[in-house]
Amino acid sequence: MGNQITRIALPFQVYVLTQSTVAVGFLAAVQLVPILALSLGAGAVADAVDRRRLILVTSVGMAFCSLALAVLALGSPPSLPAIFGVAFLAASLASIDQPARSSAIPRLVPAERLPAAIALNQLNLQTASIVGPAVGGVIIAIAGLPAAYALDFVSFGAALAAIAAIGPLPPLGGAARPGLSAVLEGLRFARSRPLILSTFAIDFAAMVFGMPTSLFPALGLTVFGAGAIGVGLLAAAPAVGAFVGAALSGWVSGVRRRGRAVILAVAGWGAAIVGFGLATFSFPLALTLLALAGAADVLSAVFRSTIVQLETPDGLRGRVTAIHILVVTSGPRLGDIEAAAVAGLIGPQASVISGGLLCLLGVIGVARAFPQLDAHVAPPPLHGHAAGAAGGSGGPATGPE
List pLDDT tens digits, range 342-358. Answer: 888 888 888 888 888 99
CATH for 308: 1.20.1250.20
Predicted confidence (pLDDT) at residue 39 exceeds the cutoff of 60: yes
DSSP 394: -
Predicted pLDDT at 365: 93
Whether 171 maps to a domain, the answer reads no
Whether 174 maps to a domain, the answer reads no
Predicted pLDDT at 176: 61
Predicted confidence (pLDDT) at residue 387 exceeds the cutoff of 50: no
Predicted pLDDT at 85: 94
Burial of 367 (C-beta count, 10 Å sphere; 0-12/13-18/19+) = buried
Alpha carbon of residue 24 to chain centroid:
18
Pairwise pLDDT comparison (393 vs 94), residue with the higher score: 94
Q: Band of the pLDDT at 138, cuts 50, 70, 90?
A: confident
Whether 229 maps to a domain, the answer reads yes
Predicted confidence (pLDDT) at residue 400 exceeds the cutoff of 70: no
Pairwise pLDDT comparison (47 vs 11), residue with the higher score: 11
Q: Band of the pLDDT at 4, cuts 50, 70, 90?
A: confident
Closest CA to 359 of 202, 241, 197, 194: 202
Q: Tell me the range of 35-49, 75-89, 206-220, 382-396 where mean pLDDT is highest.
A: 75-89
Whether 395 maps to a domain, the answer reads no
pLDDT, tens only, 259-310: 899 999 999 999 999 999 888 888 889 899 999 998 998 889 888 888 888 8
Conformation bin of residue 178: beta by default, left when phi > 0, alpha when psi is -120 to 50: beta
Predicted pLDDT at 397: 31
Predicted confidence (pLDDT) at residue 163 exceeds the cutoff of 70: yes
Lowest mean pLDDT among 85-94, 126-135, 195-204: 126-135
Pairwise pLDDT comparison (97 vs 32), residue with the higher score: 97
Average pLDDT over residues 27-48: 82
In the chain, % of residues over pLDDT 70: 93
Number of domains in the chain: 1
DSSP 377: -
pTM of the model: 0.67
Whether 173 maps to a domain, the answer reads no
Whether 246 maps to a domain, the answer reads yes
Q: Band of the pLDDT at 150, cuts 50, 70, 90?
A: very high
Average pLDDT over residues 153-160: 91
User: CA angle, 197 as apex, 357 and 244 as ends, to 5°?
Assistant: 55
DSSP assignment of 218-246:
HIIIIIS--HHHHHHHHHHHHHHHHHHHH
Q: Band of the pLDDT at 33, cuts 50, 70, 90?
A: confident
Predicted pLDDT at 393: 31
Q: Tell me the range of 128-132, 140-144, 320-324 where mean pLDDT is highest.
A: 140-144
Pair 216, 14: CB distance under 8 Å = no
Average pLDDT over residues 234-239: 83
* CA 85 – CA 236 distance, rounded (Å): 26
Predicted confidence (pLDDT) at residue 148 exceeds the cutoff of 80: yes
Instruction: Please list, in sequence order, all residues whose beta carbon lies within 8 angstroms of the beta carbon of residue 142, skipping any fewer than 6 positions away.
Output: none
Whether 380 maps to a domain, the answer reads no
Pairwise pLDDT comparison (394 vs 52), residue with the higher score: 52
In the chain, % of residues over pLDDT 90: 22
CA-CA distances (angstroms) from residue 289 to 148, 172, 276, 292, 300? 27, 44, 5, 5, 17
Predicted pLDDT at 265: 92
Predicted confidence (pLDDT) at residue 398 exceeds the cutoff of 60: no
Q: What range does the domain containing 56 cover?
A: 2-166+180-375
Average pLDDT over residues 234-244: 84
Whether 340 maps to a domain, the answer reads yes
Predicted pLDDT at 178: 67
